[in-house]
Amino acid sequence: MKPSKPVILTGVRANNDIHIGNYFGAILPIVDMAKRRSSDFDINLFIPDLHSFTTPIDHSKLYDSILNNARIYTAAGLPLDNEAIHLYRQSRVPAHSELAWILDCFTGFGEMGRMTQFKDKSHKFLDEIDSKIHLPTSRQKAQDIVHTGISVGLFNYPVLMAADILLYGATYVPVGDDQTQHLEFTRDISERMNRKFGDLFIVPKPVAQQHQFFGNDQGLRIKDLMNPAKKMSKSDDSGKGVIFLGDEPEAAHKKIMSATTDSLGKVQYDRDNQPGISNLLEVLTLVRQDAGKDVSLEQTISEYAGMERYGDFKRIVADEVAEFLANFQARLAAVDDQAIESKLESSEHDMNIVANETLHRVQTAVGLRR
């Protein structure tokens, strides 16, 4: 059975500390998109807790991290009472894992080997190991570190992602540039299965149509405060270039005041020649928008263009970022945990019904059922 309304599906973070780059670049756009489009689409926001195993994590903190990140989406404005918006944990719908195994068996090893994200993450992990292991270590210990860090799960990640999408007949899936190859694989494997077994899956729209559909739903990409040539990332070991949602407002203020700028001495929006100042202009615009102000990036640029005292400009940004954090943390503290648990359980009940229907259809097609 095809869904009564077309489905938009996207994953929300399952673990890790969330920084303002995640918040403004992904979380807020997802929440805004869900609220605006829920009258015409079913919105599936799933927490990919099984995917979190693909890289080393602290498993003792995972459960609490999942719930805390659901709280962050709620504090960002996700309406828990909207029945067209579904918030669910991947692991609570077992059909994800079973469909992934079936799809595995129709996927070529070479297809997964060509996935650039696997190559990039593997190389990054090996580089980190090389930089951190300075003392002599046994060959076996070194192999154990590498083998547990680069897992089969990381290699196989795109197949589980395909199952996440195909179980619900999702037409639109907003993905970043690092996930477009995985979305194309999802299209490939769904078309392959449809050719072999009949009309099993709804094929997601091509990447170009996805970008056209979502358009401005994609948020700005905040850069690292100390190295504005790269995006803000939790992997920054020093933490000086990253503002986490849990940072004390005073600590965030200091990070902004220490942000890298340039020697040109005049505020201008120029990503190539003044990336640090340009980044701060974007941050200032975003925190003002979050405060309910009707302001565009162009208006912020116009307001401060030509300002010659970088310290004064940084202080303006730092003050408003600190105020944003204080307000957000107050909203987070006011979130009703019981309402989140209720939303998760209700959505997971509904999603199991939908996913099992798809899985049974696939099981019948491949000979596991009659």
Short-list 55, 42, 49, CA closest to 11 = 49
Q: In the prediction, which pLDDT does 100 show?
A: 97
Taken as a whole, the chain contains a residue count of 370
Q: Which residues, given as ranges, of the chain have pLDDT below 50? A: 1, 135
Please enumerate in sequence order all residues whose Cβ is within 8 A of that of 342, keeping only pairs 6 or more positions apart, or say none: 80
For CATH 3.40.50.620, the residue range(s) in the chain are: 7-114+153-219+337-366
CA 140 to chain centre: 35
- pLDDT tens-digit profile of 176-189? 777 889 999 999 99
CA–CA distances in Å: residue 142 to residues 129, 132, 137, 145, 148: 9, 12, 7, 5, 10
Q: In the prediction, which pLDDT does 144 show?
A: 57
Give catalytic residue positions: 121, 231, 234
For CATH 1.10.240.10, the residue range(s) in the chain are: 249-333
What span, in angstroms and rounded, lies between the C-alpha atoms of 86 and 41?
11
Calculate what percentage of the chain has a pLDDT beyond 70: 88
- pLDDT tens-digit profile of 130-175? 555 554 555 555 555 555 567 787 788 999 999 999 999 999 998 8
Q: What backbone torsions phi and psi does residue 125 show, to the nearest 5 degrees?
A: -65, -45
What span, in angstroms and rounded, lies between the C-alpha atoms of 62 and 327?
26
Q: In the prediction, which pLDDT does 212 show?
A: 87
What span, in angstroms and rounded, lies between the C-alpha atoms of 317 and 145?
42
> Can you read off the two tokens belonging to residue 283?
């941050």
Quote the pTM value. 0.85
Short-list 91, 73, 57, 78, CA closest to 22 = 73
What does the CA dihedral 248, 29, 217, 12 come to, rounded to 10 degrees?
120
CATH number of the 7-114+153-219+337-366 domain: 3.40.50.620
Q: Give residue 81's identity as a one-letter amino acid code.
A: D
Q: What is the mean pLDDT of the chain?
A: 89
Q: What is the DSSP string of 284-321?
A: HHHHHHHTT----HHHHHHHHTT---HHHHHHHHHHHH
CATH of the domain spanning 249-333, picked from 3.40.718.10, 3.40.50.10490, 1.10.240.10, 3.40.50.300: 1.10.240.10
Q: In the prediction, which pLDDT does 112 show?
A: 84
Q: In the prediction, which pLDDT does 352 show?
A: 98
